[in-house]
Amino acid sequence: MEETAESSKLWIGAAGLMAAFGAGRGRRCAVSGLTALAVAQLVSNGVGKQLGDRSRPPKEWIEHDEVDDRPDSSSFPSGHTAAGVAFTAAVAPTWPVAAALCSVPAALLALERVQSGAHYPDVAAGAVIGLGSAWLTRRAPRLLPPRLTAALSGP
C-alpha cells in the first residue's frame, strides 16, 4: 500500500480515472482532489514536519523487517494520511460514491503507516490537516473578492 501512495501515485491515478470516466463532474473532482492534496502536502511536509521534528517509533516496537525502510524525516504529521484524507474529502461533496471508494485506501494507508512503524497513532493529525486542506480548497474561491474570482474563471 505504501508504495502505491508514495509520491501520491495512488491519488493521481484516482484523479485520472475520475477525469477520464466522470465527465465534467469527474474533472472537477480530479482538480479539487489534487489541489487539496497539494495543500495538505505543503502543510504536512513543508511546515508540519519542520515544526514537529518527532522521531519515528523505536525499532524495538516493530515486529517485522520493514522497520529499516522507514523514512528519516519527522514522524509528525503523516503526509501520506494528510494527502489521502485531503483528496477524499475534497471529492466527497461533488461525487460521494467516488469518495466512498477512495476512503477505503485512505483509511488503510493511515493504518499501514502505524503498523509499519513509520508513525505513532497520531496519524490522526495528518487526517486533520487533510480535512482542513479539503475545506480550504473548496472554500477558497468564495473567500476571494468576486472580481478576482471572475478574472481567474476566464471569459
pLDDT digits (tens, 9 = 90+) for 67-94: 566 666 666 788 889 999 999 999 999 9
* Weakest mean pLDDT among 30-34, 88-92, 145-149: 145-149
pLDDT band at 131 (very low <50, low <70, confident <90, very high): very high
Distance CA 71, CA 67 (A): 10
Averaged pLDDT for residues 63-67: 62
Percent of the chain scoring above 70 in pLDDT: 72
Chain centroid offset of residue 38 CA: 8
- Grid cell of 90 as nine digits: 475534497
